[in-house]
Structure formats: C-alpha cells, structure tokens
Amino acid sequence: MKRPTMKDVARAAGVSPMTVSRAVSGEPGVSPGTAARVEQAVRQLGYQRNDNARNLRRKNPGTSTIGLVVDDLANPFYALMARSVEDEAHRRGCLVLVGSTNDEPRREREVIAAFTARQVDGLLLVPTIGGHGFLKQPMEGGTRVVCVDRPAKGLAVDTVTVDNRAGAERAVRHLLAQGHTRIAYLGDRFGIWTQRERHAGYRDALAAHGIPEDPALVRHDLRSRSDAAAALAALRALPGPPTALFTTNDVITMGVMGALGPADRVDVVGFDDFPLADRLSPPLSVVSQDPVALGATAAHLLFSRIDGDRSAPRSVVLLTRLIVRGPGQHDS
Amino acid sequence: MKRPTMKDVARAAGVSPMTVSRAVSGEPGVSPGTAARVEQAVRQLGYQRNDNARNLRRKNPGTSTIGLVVDDLANPFYALMARSVEDEAHRRGCLVLVGSTNDEPRREREVIAAFTARQVDGLLLVPTIGGHGFLKQPMEGGTRVVCVDRPAKGLAVDTVTVDNRAGAERAVRHLLAQGHTRIAYLGDRFGIWTQRERHAGYRDALAAHGIPEDPALVRHDLRSRSDAAAALAALRALPGPPTALFTTNDVITMGVMGALGPADRVDVVGFDDFPLADRLSPPLSVVSQDPVALGATAAHLLFSRIDGDRSAPRSVVLLTRLIVRGPGQHDS
DNA sequence: GTCCGGCTTGGTAACGTTCCCATTCTCAAC
DNA sequence: GTTGAGAATGGGAACGTTACCAAGCCGGAC
C-alpha cells in the first residue's frame, strides 16, 4: 500500500540506506556486487526514489523544475511555445509546470506563488498587464525569471520578444503601397505591451505617408473571435468604411476572416501566421513570428541563468517576416 | 541570499516555529495578536512556505500536483485539452506538470517516471502505443491514473474517449450518400487506437453499402501535413483516383486541404474541427469532437479518484458530431 | 483554595533523502 | 610487522516542515 523507501530497500538488500542512496543515484563507491543486490531489491519492491525529499536535502540546490506561465495555453501560439519550452526542458532533464493567466494579474500571482512555493528553479513568464514587484522576493531567493513575448514593467530580467513595432509598420506599409488610405486597426487590449507596439507601428506607417490616424477606424479591446467579428461589422457600417484591415493577433484575424466572404474586396494583413492561412479568401497576408524560436530562445536564456550566468539582463528581439498573399505577392 | 525558513520567521516574531507553521497555514489555535506578529515577520523577511518540505511531512498524503501526459502539446487538440485540465486543476488548487510523448513509448516512460518521482497525486494520460505495465507499481503506491482520448492496453483505469468508430462510420456514410464509391482513407499510424477505431468505422460504412475496401485507397502512417499531402498526390495519380476523402485527424486534414485548390472537385470529411475550417474550398465537412469536454471530464474523474473513489474503473464515451459543409449541408 | 476545561504555545520526533565524517577492509610497499 | 593509501560501507545529523503530546495560563465553579 505505502510506497517503499530506501530503508525498505536497504533491509531487503542487507545494506545501509546510505549505500542504497549511492547505488540508486549511480554515485561511485559501490562495489558491483552490492550494486546488483540493491538493484535486485529495488526491482522486487518496485522502489522509486522520492525526488521531493531528495531535493530538500541536496546541497546542490535546485529541483530541476521550471514554471511556464502563459496567457492562454489553448492559444495555438502559446501552445507551440510551450511545446518548444518543454522540449528544451526535457533535453535537460527538467520538468515543466504550466499555468495560464488569462491576462488576469490575480491569477498570475496565484500561479507564480504556487510555483515558487514548489521551489521551481526558474520561471518563463508571459507577463500580464499588472505590476510584478511581487517577483523581487523570489528572485532574491534564487528563482530565475525570463520574460517571453512581452517585457514585465519595472523588472530587470532577460526578455525575448519580436520586433512588433517594425513588423506592424511593414504590414501597414504594404497596405499603403497597395493604394489603401482607409486602413482599420483591430487590436486586443491596449494595456498589453505587444498591442501598444503594434499600434505604434500602425501609426508609424500612416505618419510616414502623411495620413492622419482616424479614431473611427481604430478598435481596441477585442478579446475573442466574436468581438473581432462584431468590430468588423461596425466598421463596415461606417459612412466611410475601411478598404483594408490590420488585425493584431491570430484570434482577431480568425474572427475577421470568419466574417468575410470570398466576394468581399478587402485587403487584410494579420499578425501571426496559422495553418491554412494561405488557403483563405479574400487572401490573407500575415506578419509571421516563430513561437518555437521564441520558446527555445527563452528557455536557453533561463537555463544559462540557472547554470549561474550573472551578467546583466539581456533583451533578445527576434525578427518577424511579412508574408504577402494575393495581389502584390512577394515575401519580404 | 538564501531563502528564509520558518525558523527565521520564528526568531523575528519571537515565537516558536510551530506557531509560525500554524499561523502561515491558517490553522486555529493562534491568538490574533501572535498571528499579526507572525504575519509582520513574514512580510518583512519575504518568507514563503516550502511546499515540498510540507508535502514530505504532512500525514494527509498528497502534493496537490497532477501530471498531464499528451502526445503533442503543440497540437491544437491537445492544447485545448490541456487548458481545460489546467482550469479544473486551478479551481482545485492543484498544479499541473505537462509532458509530450511524441508517441514514443520511451519518452512516455521517462516523463511518467519523472512525474511519479515527484509524487504527483495523479496522472492524466494519452497513452502511446507501447505497453503500460510499468504503471502498476506507482498505482499500487497510490498514484491515480486516468486515460484520455485512448485506452491503455491492459490497464484497468478510468478512460474517457469519443465514439471514434461511430463518428467515422457516420462520416463515410455521408460521403456514400453523396454517391461516392471510391472513398480514400488517409490515416495516422494504425497502431494508435483511435486510428484503428476510425478505420473500422470506415470499413463499417463501406460494408453496409456492399462496397469492398480497396487497399489502394487506404493510406496509413501519415505523421505530418507533408505526409498527408504526398499521400494525396499519390492517390490522385492512381488509374482510378478517389472522388472523396476521409481524413482521420486535424493534421492530416490540414495537409490535404493545403494541397487542394478551390477548383478541385473532391468531397472531404475530416476528423476534428478547427478554426476557419468552414471557410475553406473545396468545402470541408468534419467530425467534431470536444477536447475541452474531454479534458474536463477526465480531470473530474481523476480528482474524484484522488478524493478516494475506489469503485470499479469507468469508461466514458463522449459523442462526436458530424458537421456537413457545402452541398448536402445539414448537421447531424 | 482546589480543581477543571479551554485556549495558546512550545518541544520533540519524524517524513525520505543526502552530506559529512568515521570506520573497516584489502592490498601493497617499506 | 608496521604503515598507508584507497575503496567500500555505515552512523548521525540535517534539509524545512508538520503530527503529536505536554505544558503553561487564565477564568470560573465547587
């Protein structure tokens, strides 16, 4: 019923618990014969080492566990990132605790508190819009933190992002080059850093063409596909409807594309690529970012911190790629 | 540098560690004044309880951690399931360790061993094609196991699946009703239980119409979108090419749809719905299953087992829904 | 004054493991 | 025969926490 312990194995093998510890952990200083007897007892009892107790006692600190905190694990973008992080962790013999925040600072705090209480070696964090002062204490206690996708306000840690502003600017510039002047912006919460950056890129491109931003064409706070579809309907009901759309994440893009038909003559550029995006009509151009690279880069940074890198925090910016589909097609 | 412990808090508050323990865990028997002093010391030192040490000592066994083992966390289907599981766990104050197996029995063993070594209370498992005898020992040790999406061969545990065979049969019956007789089957590894079931459903439908299965139209082992696209190309190069396709998971469906153009006159039904599947051409009908319900149901089962339910293993089968798109459109 | 019950508090041991050191043994070299 | 080096093994303490029980204190009832 109860799990066997080293003491049980020791009794069965006729040695001391200490010897079992050494044998099970593959440490030197155990004769082959003893090792065999121990292994036999281990198999017979179905013994497995309790790694929690182990991590408690070990001098070499560390639990070989990291926490991954994302906005929403179900979002394909974060799902790809999570998988990539998990692969890196697995390669290193490290486990991954996951948590979704829903962009709620309260839930973020809860999840992170639960993770640090379990003594994770590090946190890979897609920070919410809330403050992150509460991370100072765990960080002084040795928990390493790396931010992905967005920086955390007032937190000096490694951060991996993409060139959101430049990517958005290039996307809108492409639409301007197609002759559009009424380009709508459909975005998520303005509080989210990526959204502010992408909005800035949108304004950059308009400004470069001397076009003033039309507030009626700018919609923020779209949290779901249906929000996006509703915003699109409202935009098209305007006296001067937009002739092109810039959507700032995959969810919004999907909401918009779901509401458009093949007959609709609107040019759309969306942030984030997704499967079969190239098979839609009207054609959908995208600013593509690589969530796998994002996750892997962040994981590498985190692990090098865990391994003792104490240099100044780094900020890594990965590049996006504009993929043009439909008329005017050429990559850039 | 080092994390403060209860002893440190006790010293700072001028009480014993035992009192700190009670205060921090919100147990009764601490006077309001003492509780306030302890809380003050906790805040001042930035103390956080070490839950690993706690779980080691507690009589009430359990680490409030479960392990989720899926085929591939990046697959949208499993991503949705994972999110749903995480939500249930969060509601219960439980953490989730995740691992992907890639359908490799070796990696599955590694991941599960690492999870049980951390004393997880339960495992939510999408089993690989390998055997699962190695789970007997941890289960006797108290680790509860629930299988999702597929059963594990020779393992008497709760299992949550969908009606794969009936769903596939209905899908192919729909194609037959459209007048097709040459219906190709494009599937993943035959070793995977869901794939065998879906293949059986495909045969059921053909048999009911007195149509013999044509081995040339049946392709197994498609592991990626490009595998599926290649298989489609080969099928279309046949002397008697298929006029309709049945694809048995989202990846294969995407591979096929990515290779088809709007001009192609082929009827396609795929297992698994996905975003914007309704906006493709040729139109794509799907057998839709609900990964969120799958995850939530499995999580509920697991938690009731963890809470002490010792009844005989249950098998829950959720229903799929055929969503017909294009000609002959009507749900069922 | 004695006794009792309730409330608060603390001391000690233990969870399962590993660190640190001491002990034993073997074999070779002087 | 003594010494010593090296390998194998074990004993005790400790990691940070909680279970268990004992002790102190207070007020009230007899």
* Average pLDDT of span A151-179: 97
Structure tokens at A194: 């990526």
Within A 38-77, residues with CB less than 7 Å from strand C: 49-50, 53-54, 56-60
Lowest mean pLDDT among A321-330, B28-37, B277-286, B292-301: A321-330
| pLDDT of B327 | 72
Structure tokens at A134: 């509460």
| pLDDT of A331 | 47
Q: Where is B257: in which H helix or E strand?
A: helix B250-259
Cβ(B157)–Cβ(B145) under 8 Å? yes
Chain mean pLDDT for chain B: 95
| Strand D nucleotides within 7 Å of a protein CB | 7-12, 14-20
Q: What does each C-alpha distance from B277 to A324, B270, B306 come to in angstroms?
A: 21, 10, 38
Q: What does each C-alpha distance from B164 to A234, B169, B211 come to in angstroms?
A: 41, 8, 21
* Average pLDDT of span B59-76: 93
| Residue carrying structure tokens 């990132």 | A81
Mutate to test the interface with B, among A8, A9, A24, A83 (most CBs of B within 10 A): A83
* Average pLDDT of span B55-79: 93
Structure tokens at B306: 């963890």
Q: Looking at the DSSP assignment, which residues form a beta bridge with residue B322?
A: B287
Alpha-carbon distance of B283 to B206, in angstroms, equals 22
pLDDT band per the 50, 70, 90 thresholds, residue A125? very high
CB-defined contacts A:B, below 8 A: 169
Alpha-carbon distance of A163 to A170, in angstroms, equals 11
Alpha-carbon distance of B327 to A51, in angstroms, equals 58
Task: Please identify among residues 303-332 of chain B the ones whose CB lies closer than 8 Å to any CB of chain A.
Answer: none
> Residue A332 pLDDT more than 70?
no
Contacts of A276 in chain B (CB under 8 A): 254, 257-258, 276, 280
Task: Please identify among residues 165-224 of chain B the ones whose CB lies closer than 8 Å to any CB of chain A.
Answer: none
A14: left (phi over 0), alpha (psi -120 to 50) or beta: left
- Cα B208 to the center of its chain, rounded Å: 32
Q: Is the peptide bond before B262 cis (omega within 30 degrees of 0)?
A: no
| pLDDT of B330 | 58
Measured over the CA atoms of residue A6, residue A10, residue A11 and residue A12, the dihedral's sign is positive
- Cα B176 to the center of its chain, rounded Å: 31
Task: Please identify among residues 222-281 of chain A the ones whose CB lies closer than 8 Å to any CB of chain B.
Answer: 225, 254, 257-258, 262, 274-276, 278-281
Q: Does A50 touch chain B (CB under 8 A)?
A: yes
- Cα B167 to the center of its chain, rounded Å: 18
Residue type, B286: V
Closest nucleotide relative to residue B5's CA, C1' based: D16
| pLDDT of A2 | 85
Alpha-carbon distance of B302 to B159, in angstroms, equals 10
Contact B86 A100 (CB under 8 A): yes
* Average pLDDT of span B247-252: 97
Residue type, A124: L
* Average pLDDT of span B183-200: 97
What Rg do the C-alpha atoms of chain B give, in angstroms? Answer: 26
> Residue A23 pLDDT more than 90?
yes
| pLDDT of B331 | 47
> Residue B329 pLDDT more than 80?
no
Cβ(A67)–Cβ(B86) under 8 Å? no
Q: Looking at the DSSP assignment, which residues form a beta bridge with residue B65?
A: B95
Burial of B59 (0-12, 13-18, 19+ CB in 10 A): exposed
> Residue B207 pLDDT more than 50?
yes
| pLDDT of B60 | 81
A69-88 pLDDT, tens digit each: 999 999 999 999 999 999 99
Cα dihedral value A286, A292, A295, A297, nearest 10? -100
Pick from B52, B72, B96: CB nearest A97: B96
Closest by alpha carbon to B292, among B125, B148, B129?
A: B148
* Average pLDDT of span B283-288: 98
| pLDDT of B6 | 95
Alpha-carbon distance of B322 to B300, in angstroms, equals 26
Q: Give the three-class secondary structure for B216.
A: helix
Contact B52 A48 (CB under 8 A): no
Q: Looking at the DSSP assignment, which residues form a beta bridge with residue B122?
A: B66, B144
| pLDDT of A270 | 98
| Residue carrying structure tokens 């053909």 | B206
| A5 C-beta less than 7 Å away from strand C | yes
Measured over the CA atoms of residue B100, residue B102, residue B105 and residue B110, the dihedral's sign is negative
Can you list the alpha helix ranges (DSSP code H) found in chain A?
6-13, 17-24, 32-45, 51-57, 76-91, 105-117, 136-140, 164-177, 193-208, 225-236, 250-259, 291-306
Residue type, A22: R
pLDDT band per the 50, 70, 90 thresholds, residue A59? confident
Which regions of B262-326 does DSSP assign to beta strands (E)?
A: 267-271, 284-288, 315-318, 321-323
| pLDDT of A330 | 58
* Average pLDDT of span B223-232: 97
Q: Give the three-class secondary structure for A158.
A: strand
Nearest protein residue to D12's C1' (by CA)?
A18
| pLDDT of B311 | 97
pTM score, two decimals? 0.94
Q: Does A137 touch chain B (CB under 8 A)?
A: yes
pLDDT band per the 50, 70, 90 thresholds, residue A28? confident
| pLDDT of B328 | 67
A259-289 pLDDT, tens digit each: 999 999 999 999 999 999 999 999 999 999 9
A260: left (phi over 0), alpha (psi -120 to 50) or beta: beta
| pLDDT of A80 | 97
